Every structure is written in C-alpha cells, then in structure tokens.
C-alpha cells in the first residue's frame, strides 16, 4: 500500500472506533526484485522505516500498532518497539515440514530465537501453531511445550493462536487436507492443559467454527475489522460484533486492547504510547459496560 492508502484506512478506522492497527507483510520485502524501486519512489530505502512511519501515523490517530513483520533482528525489534504496543510471530511448528521448504525465516530455531528476543526486550507477544501443514500430533504438543517454556522464562506471551491451515487455490498445497473441528478441539484442549493460565488460547473466528470450539477451551477470538478484509485470508470474511455475540452463545464477549492489562501495569511499552494506552483503556471499559456487560471471552 502507498502511504496515502495507509492513511486513508487509518483515518476510516479511527472514525469507526478501532483501537488497533495491524501491520503485517512478507519477510524482508526489500529483497523482492523490483520492490526497492517502489520504496525509493515513496521516499524510503528500508521497509521497516516505512512501517515505522506508518505506525506513527496510527498513533497520531489514536490507535495502537501491532506488527507482524516476520523475522527481524534485536536492533530492529528495539526500534519498532518504540511505536508498537505489541508484536507477533507464529511459531507454526517445531517440525521440519515440506511446506516450509525454501523459507529460511520459517526454520523453527530462527522463529524461537526471535520469540526469545522479544521476551528479553519485554515486548507483549502473540504466537501460535498452524494445524495441517504436515506436522504430527506429537509435533503439535512439542510446539506448545516450547511456547510454554519460553513464556516461563520471559513471561511475555499474551495469547497462542491455534490456527487451522486453509488451502488456497493455485498454490502448491491447494489439495492439502485440513483439520476438522474434532481434531481442532483436541489440540485446543491440549493447549489449555499445557499453557500457563495467563496465556489465552485463541482461534480465528473467520477460519474456524468458533461456535463449537469455544467449549474446547478457547478464551480469545483475536481481532476483527469493520473496515478491511483479512488480507492473509481474503476469502474468509471477518465476522462482525453481532456475529461474535451469537458465536459465544451463553458466554459473554468483551473487547480488549492489543496489549493486555498486566503488561500495561508492568509498563512493558515505550513511554510515548502511554497517553494513548490510558485513553483507550477508559474507552474499552465504557464499551464493555454499555455494549457487552460482564464478560468471559475476549475479542
């Protein structure tokens, strides 16, 4: 997206009451042939610098950036922490699977290393596992145990996404089988048993049957947008708030920020974000009282 396109979306989002701006893109887009020329045309030589400036734009409009940038190093993470309330990186799996062939950023040790670096820098963090990419049930357990152990060392994991793989037409894995709800339910139960209580278990409500899976141990539904599509899975529309209320059934939905309150209390964010975070906390409290009531499930 061009800077003007990003600003347009941010302005629209702010007018709709959004609290989070998710910045997500492929790993090291600067290295894609031809992309450096595009960056130069919009006044940048480095994509993370472009993202940094767009995060500042989001903050100026009263929203908290959350960045999923793929693999970045410690210095880059330190820099982006200045303008992000939280960050994320899917572990996907600790197994070596054909689906990751040719993707050096998806080597498990590389991903684990970045997750640990985020912990050292006190960055509230989202991670998760991807179900149906060639991993075994034992691999899934191992992946959850690795996440658990990282959190025990650093205490920075906010939620773990249990995401079902969705085959895409025209890709090498378009004919891959994908997990059904019973299989998803089983691994969600495993996740809830393995992960510490302060780590939420999340499923994406536009990719999985959350209506069924909530009873398996799900306590977070991630983010949804009234403004944009899910750019990673554009064929799966976001549910809206009324849809989510129906999905949770007898449970009650509540809104949360992309940085959890316990990390706000610890001060695990850059000082320049403080005013926006405190203002949004008050807004969320009002909305949860007037729109959702007392709550069990986060969204």
Chain segment 172-184, per-residue pLDDT in tens: 787 777 788 999 9
Range(s) of the domain holding residue 182: 87-298
Q: Is the pLDDT of residue 14 over 70?
A: yes
- In this structure, is residue 131 part of a structural domain? yes
Give the Cα-Cα-Cα angle 228, 283, 201 (nearest 5 degrees). 60
Q: How confident is the model at residue 295 (pLDDT cuts 50, 70, 90)?
A: very low
- Report how many domains make up the chain: 1
Chain segment 139-185, per-residue pLDDT in tens: 999 999 999 999 999 999 999 999 998 878 888 787 777 788 999 99
- In this structure, is residue 9 part of a structural domain? no
Mean pLDDT taken over the chain: 93
How much is the pLDDT for 299?
A: 58
What is the enclosing helix (H) or strand (E) of 6? helix 3-15
Dist CA 128 CA 123 (whole Å)? 16
- In this structure, is residue 285 part of a structural domain? yes
How does strand 64-68 pair with strand 86-88?
parallel
Chain segment 191-207, per-residue pLDDT in tens: 999 999 999 999 999 99
- In this structure, is residue 3 part of a structural domain? no
Q: How confident is the model at residue 293 (pLDDT cuts 50, 70, 90)?
A: low
User: C-alpha dihedral over 50, 55, 59, 63, to 10 degrees?
Assistant: 140
Dist CA 201 CA 197 (whole Å)? 9
Dist CA 72 CA 114 (whole Å)? 7
Here the tokens at position 45 are: 């030589």
Chain segment 59-73, per-residue pLDDT in tens: 999 999 999 999 999
- In this structure, is residue 293 part of a structural domain? yes
How much is the pLDDT for 298?
A: 62
Q: Which residues contact 221 (CB under 8 A, 6 or more apart)?
A: 202, 203, 204, 205, 210, 244, 247, 248, 253, 297, 298, 299
pTM, rounded to two decimals: 0.93
- In this structure, is residue 198 part of a structural domain? yes
Longest dimension (CA), the chain: 53
- In this structure, is residue 2 part of a structural domain? no
Q: How confident is the model at residue 296 (pLDDT cuts 50, 70, 90)?
A: low
- In this structure, is residue 18 part of a structural domain? no
Q: Which residues contact 72 (CB under 8 A, 6 or more apart)?
A: 48, 80, 114
Work out the average pLDDT over 270-279.
98
Here the tokens at position 251 are: 């449970």
In the chain, % of residues over pLDDT 90 = 81
| Residue carrying structure tokens 């939280």 | 86
Dist CA 99 CA 175 (whole Å)? 13
Residue-wise DSSP of 16-29: TT--EEEEE--S-G
């Amino acid at each position: 997206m061009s800077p003007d396109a990003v600003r347009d979306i941010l302005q629209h989002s702010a007018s709709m009451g959004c609290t989070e701006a998710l910045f997500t893109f492929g790993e090291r887009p600067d290295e894609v042939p031809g992309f450096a020329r595009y960056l130069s045309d919009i006044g940048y030589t480095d994509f993370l610098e472009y993202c940094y400036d767009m995060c500042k734009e989001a903050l100026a409009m009263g929203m908290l950036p959350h960045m999923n940038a793929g693999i970045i190093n410690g210095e880059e993470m330190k820099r982006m922490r200045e303008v992000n309330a939280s960050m994320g990186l899917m572990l996907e799996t600790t197994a070596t699977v054909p689906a990751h062939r040719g993707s050096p950023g998806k080597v498990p040790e590389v991903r684990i290393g970045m997750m640990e670096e985020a912990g050292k820098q006190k960055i509230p963090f989202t991670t998760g596992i991807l179900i149906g990419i060639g991993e075994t049930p034992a691999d899934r357990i191992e992946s959850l145990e690795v996440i658990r152990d990282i959190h025990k060392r650093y205490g920075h994991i906010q939620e773990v996404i249990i995401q079902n793989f969705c085959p895409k037409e025209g890709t090498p894995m378009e004919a891959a089988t994908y997990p059904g709800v019973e299989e998803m339910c089983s691994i969600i139960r495993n996740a809830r048993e393995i992960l510490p209580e302060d780590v939420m278990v999340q499923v994406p409500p536009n990719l999985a049957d959350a209506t069924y899976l909530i009873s398996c141990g799900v306590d977070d539904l991630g983010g949804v947008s009234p403004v944009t599509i899910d750019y990673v899975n554009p064929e799966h529309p976001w549910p809206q708030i009324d849809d989510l209320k129906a999905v949770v059934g007898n449970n009650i939905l509540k809104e949360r920020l992309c940085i959890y309150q316990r990390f706000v209390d610890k001060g695990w964010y850059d000082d320049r974000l403080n005013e926006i975070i405190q203002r949004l906390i008050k807004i969320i409290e009002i909305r949860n009282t007037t729109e959702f009531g007392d709550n069990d499930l986060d969204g």
